[in-house]
Amino acid sequence: MPRATTCLAGGERIDVNEALRRRERAKASGQPLAGFYCEECGQPVRPHREGGHGGAHIEHRERNPRCSRSDPLR
């Protein structure tokens, strides 16, 4: 299963930890969250924290079978 660890935000390549920090800052300040996008296909993605099923990673909001970074089973 693909486990992306980077994405695009505001035209800049960031890692999953920076995406999680930005999400938390936006949530804490009540500001809208800037979008995160797949580097390969440009579709919206979201960061996920480290948990019981693996390390922190980036997932597509909707499966994209044409993108190698999208989970084929979602």
pLDDT band per the 50, 70, 90 thresholds, residue 2: low
The answer to whether residue 67 is domain-embedded is no
* Total domains, the chain: 1
Please say if the pLDDT value at position 17 is more than 90.
Answer: yes
Give the pLDDT confidence of 30-55 residue by residue, as tens digits: 998 889 999 999 999 999 999 877 88
The answer to whether residue 14 is domain-embedded is yes
Q: Are strands 45-48 and 12-15 parallel, antiparallel or unpaired?
A: unpaired
Residue among 42, 48, 57, 32 nearest 11 (CA): 42
Please say if the pLDDT value at position 57 is more than 60.
Answer: yes
The answer to whether residue 74 is domain-embedded is no
Contacts of 21 (CB under 8 A, 6+ apart): none
Query: Containing domain of residue 30, as a range?
Result: 6-60
The answer to whether residue 55 is domain-embedded is yes
The answer to whether residue 23 is domain-embedded is yes
pLDDT of res. 20: 96
The answer to whether residue 33 is domain-embedded is yes
The whole model's pTM is what? 0.85
Please say if the pLDDT value at position 23 is more than 80.
Answer: yes
